[in-house]
Every structure is written in C-alpha cells, then in structure tokens.
Amino acid sequence: MTDFDEALVDYLLGCPGIAALVARRIFPDYFPQDEQLPAIAYTLEDDSSQQTQQGPSGMRAAIYLISTWADTRREVMAVARQVRSILDGYRGAFKDIPVTGAFLDNMSRERDSDTGAYCVSMRFTIHYQELQ
C-alpha cells in the first residue's frame, strides 16, 4: 500500500514543469534553510473520514498546505502556477490511490523579511479512496 504523502510527491515530481524548476526539492513540513531554491514544502493539515448514513465510506478528505519558495517573485509564481495547474481540478490517481477530486481552496503570497525569499502558500482539499 502506498503512503499518500509519498504518492502526492511522486505525482508532483512527475510533472516535467515542476521537476524542471525544483528538481527533487520537495520536503515534508518545511525545507532546510540551507537548501537551494526554488523548493516546495507540504504539510498535512487535516485528513478526515467521509461518512455516509450506513457508516464509513472509505473516502477521505485531506487538506494539504503546499508552499512554494523561491528567490524571486517571478520564480515563485512560476512554481506555484505549475502546482496549481496539475492539482486544481485533478481526478485520477496518485500511484495506486484513487483521487476523486483535488481543489484549490485558497492561495496567498508573502516575502520572508529575514531571507528575502518569496513564498506562495496554497491550501488544497484532496478527496481520495482509502486503500485497505
């Protein structure tokens, strides 16, 4: 059985546009400060079971915060556009995990006052079938 985080990262790295921009620099929760930019960090904020009148449906809704980081505004927006274009509205599978829908909930941009790096944070809700 595939771990959902691993499947999500593999899906992102399978996009030539993302791989060209960040190589393999996709990290859980945060990225090391000495890491080259651009990079992506992702955090699981919530993963809840979807219930029916008959009980658990086997469907889950995961909320991920995906943050893209880069040295310039142009570069961070390029990475964010790539992530948004392959995730928002996606239906299919991450590896062997069926995804019934991934949707962008919100997006924001900021600049780190200490490092000067730019960050675009996107919150996605991803509905998927839990594998047994």
CA distance 125 to 118: 23
Query: Can you give the residue ranges of every domain in the chain?
Result: 4-129
Listed as ranges, residues in the chain with pLDDT below 70 are 1-2
The CATH number of domain 4-129 is 3.30.2000.30: yes
pLDDT score, position 2: 59
pLDDT score, position 1: 41
Whole-prediction pTM: 0.92
pLDDT score, position 34: 84
